[in-house]
Structure 1
Amino acid sequence: MSHYVSRLRSRPLGQHPGPPRLRLPGAGRRPRRVAMLSVHTSPLHQPGTGDAGGMNVYIVELARKLAAINIEVEIFTRATTATLPPAVELAPGVLVRHVDAGPYEGLAKEELPAQLCAFTHGVMQAWAGHRPGHYDLVHAHYWLSGHVGWLAAERWGVPLVHAMHTMAKVKNASLAAGDTPEPAARVIGETQIVRAADRLIANTAEEGDELVRHYDADPARVAVVHPGVNLDRFRPLGPGATPVTLTGPGADASVAAGRAAARDRLGLPQDALIPLFAGRIQPLKAPDVLLRAVAVLLEQRPELRSRLVVPVVGGPSGSGLAKPEELQKLAALLGIADVVRFRPPVGQQQLADWYRAASVLVMPSYSESFGLVAIEAQACGTPVIAAEVGGLPVAVRDGVTGQLVPGHDPADYARALDRFVTDPALPARMGAAAARHAQSFGWDTAAAATGDVYAAALQERRRHLRSPHG
């Protein structure tokens, strides 16, 4: 069985022994068509803007690969402009349906619960236009979608598969200073969805444990499916966009040559130390920890200033929208504005080049259900310094493809960065190992494992319907 569907790590969980290995039927029937729900963020949105991030990438890539194994996907998302067509073909076998629910613009994620009835109505209208049995299964992403999915699955008589992506109780247990706690209504909503779902997909064993521990999830309904990475887009490229060798004695040199070529394309200095932050700019992602670490590093090594470039690629999101220029002000206050380069969110192809050009990606997040950015960077041949939280210990092999840092003390991150100063060969050496590590996280494997979860949910539903006590 694939390691993507695995036993959750064993440890004390009160009355729960921990979710067992999910026995998926090898010959179980997979669904023909899945209604996938993403209420608050569209798969068509640019990751790194607003609420668009790793979940957008997850839905797009998973849907494409599900369609490739003959599972059609229709993605329902909220319309955010009046000019959007009702339906857009994202890829063969993948349709994005725009649902009118509330004002098109200026609606914060926190205001969306009031629009769930309207969104559900739109989903039901689309369903009413089809023959009975059009959708075999509902796959909801994030708790807002989970509530729509709960009603839709019950109305259609099909299984509900739900992916949390993030959980309120987990986020509230590790808030950044000054960040806003998730509301009680979300906690209640997530608890209801956990009880209603036929299957819960967790990104990692740690997340599966948290579902059982915090939300009293039935361990038998939890399946672990690691997200993937688009290995065609995110990969090391040498001069002239040639493929880079990842094995043998020349692997390190090949990755180093690819880094030099990417720096040429982006106009970055060849001899610079480049620690990169890429993602949504909000307290949860802790870009301020990187800036403070850089200030500590420069205090210890002032001679480094002339060859240090710190790109911050992304846009304000979440609670960061309240103070969109807070990070720029912090850079000025710390006296490092001259080395920090703020860049708006970029498309996936250019993002891959930023990864390739960096000496190291820095992810000091307070909470990450998985950390797709970490896998993307490693797939491009770039090591990662990451907080030892959530799924990041799965994404990053500590000491091999990067370094995990307990806590969020800038001094600890400065020490981790200093290793890349004292050992100039470290980016290439760890980068080659990182690219090899990322090869095991392809979306093909993730989609196949997700299809098995679907099949298990369908088989259980059929068994329940056949039971005289059903």
Structure 2
Amino acid sequence: MRRIALISEHASPLASIGSIDSGGQNVYVAHLARQLGKCGYAVDVFTRRDKALLADVVPFAPNVRVVHVPAGPAVHVPKEALLPYMADFGDFMVDFMRRDAIGYDILHANFFMSGVAALRARRALGIPLVMTFHALGKVRRLHQGSADGFPDSRFDIEDELAREADCVIAECPQDLEDLVTLYRGDPARIETVPCGFDDEEFAPMDRDAARASLGWEREAFTVLQLGRLVPRKGIDNVIRAMGCLRRHFGIAARLHVVGGNAEQPSVEATPEIGRLRGVAEQAGVADAVTFVGRRGREQLRTFYSASDVFVTTPWYEPFGITPVEAMACGVPVVGASVGGIRSTVADGETGYLVPAHDPDTLAARLADLARDRATARRMGEAGRRRAQALFTWAGVARQMEQVYARLATAHAGSGRVAA
């Protein structure tokens, strides 16, 4: 049985998705670990202990454990402040692997700080390293400027990881291009493997039944925005588009915003809600925008299925799992033509691609879907087929298995021995 160490310093598979610093990376790590476990791999997910009472090792799924690493205080620390603890994180992993005499075939680091810790283990133990960045610092800085809270040292660290990792995973063609052009990554050591969705978790359900269970109006044209509530997700752009939709097209639509740091939507728990409510007031659609709060994974299928269209217009997006989940539920997607969304949404076939900061164009596309429900249904069905063909977690795991097997075979053939 091959053993895989997934390293995810701030994104635990046990965290509540949509809360502070919890999003796509948590979903990626959780589902990849589960699928690898189903395939017979023994998987340990190393993540930082952020609560004092967490058990050292927690069973997560068949063949999968979560190992809580003591690195820094056992409380939530913003991910932008975690870098100083990564040496301790890496040293703990080395000690854990030596003490328990667990031989890992592959280290798979997720995010650049996990890469810092994983490099220490790779150098000490001689285990091949796979690196998935999930977001690149140079791209983030380009879009966020002074709002980017990560230190400039991130750039040099990512440069080093791009050079040193045995394989770097690009999540989409844009990610591959950025790795090559911004980090001088060697295309021969980069594999493109997308993110995915769980086809046991996301599938179409009857729209009327879904709306009834949520208490939504049966006939209203309804737009869904789902994910972390942070400025870069562009939710303000969606709200402004709702205003354009009302003023310019005479369409009274409803927008439901799912996400936040608590189940009850409050400014105290999620300050971004306060800013977005102000945007809705200015756009004249405060009465048409509902902030739902955070919801569990088991509820998301109902929200997707109850919607006429799913909208996501972030400034940038390394991959973006939510559009794929919406497509899997048979819902057309209107997404910003950025990053991974550009490769998941087939423009004019499964939905539309629009500029990231253009509420007028977004409103026009929403009007098209509101006025032509037959086309919207065809796009939703095309999206479901596309998701099933290209983006299941089972398929992602199969591609990742091929990467792992190639590296493990090359490592064994090299004659290198772990320290």
Which of the pair has the greater relative contact order for Cα pairs under 8 Å at 6+ separation?
1
- Matched AA of 2:395: T
- Of 328-337 and 32-41, more deviation after overlay is shown by 328-337
- Of 403-412 and 374-383, more deviation after overlay is shown by 403-412
Q: Does 1:215 align with 2:183?
A: yes
Structure 2: state its 5+ residue gaps.
Answer: 263-268
Alpha carbons of structure 1 residues 168 and 322: separation in structure 2 relative to 1, 3 Å: farther
Q: Does 1:463 align with 2:406?
A: no
Q: Does 1:145 align with 2:114?
A: yes
Contact 2:109 2:115 in 1 (8 A): yes
Q: CA deviation at 1:283?
A: 1.6
Kindly provide the CA deviation profile for residues 344-381 of structure 1, in whole angstroms up to 9, marking residues without a partner as x: 11111211110001111111011111111000000001
Alignment of 1:310-325 (within 5 A): 310-315=255-260, 323=272, 325=274
Aligned equivalent of 2:234: 286
**Separation of aligned partners in 2, 1:365 and 1:323:** 15
Alpha carbons of structure 1 residues 181 and 51: separation in structure 2 relative to 1, 3 Å: closer
Q: CA deviation at 1:191?
A: 0.8
Deviation beyond 6 Å, 4+ runs, structure 1 = none
Aligned equivalent of 1:449: 399
TM-score (norm 1): 0.83
Q: CA deviation at 1:261?
A: 1.6
Alignment of 1:151-230 (within 5 A): 151-175=120-144, 179-180=147-148, 182-230=150-198
Contact 1:225 1:446 in 2 (8 A): yes
Kindly provide the CA deviation profile for residues 186-234 of structure 1, in whole angstroms up to 9, marking residues without a partner as x: 1111111111100111111221121111111111110111222101110
Aligned equivalent of 1:254: none
Q: CA deviation at 1:77?
A: 0.4
Contact 2:140 2:148 in 1 (8 A): no
Alignment of 1:23-422 (within 5 A): 32-131=2-101, 134-175=103-144, 179-180=147-148, 182-237=150-205, 258-302=206-250, 304-305=251-252, 308-315=253-260, 323=272, 325-422=274-371
- Matched AA of 2:131: H
3-state secondary structure, aligned to 1:425 = helix
- Aligned-pair identity in percent equals 36
Q: CA RMSD in A?
A: 2.0
Q: CA deviation at 1:128?
A: 2.8
Aligned equivalent of 1:17: none
Kindly provide the CA deviation profile for residues 159-208 of structure 1, in whole angstroms up to 9, marking residues without a partner as x: 001101110112223348x8437531111111111111001111112211
Contact 1:172 1:181 in 2 (8 A): no
Q: CA deviation at 1:121?
A: 3.0
- Of 417-426 and 47-56, more deviation after overlay is shown by 417-426
Alpha carbons of structure 1 residues 322 and 118: separation in structure 2 relative to 1, 3 Å: farther
Structure 1: state its 5+ residue gaps.
Answer: 1-30, 238-257
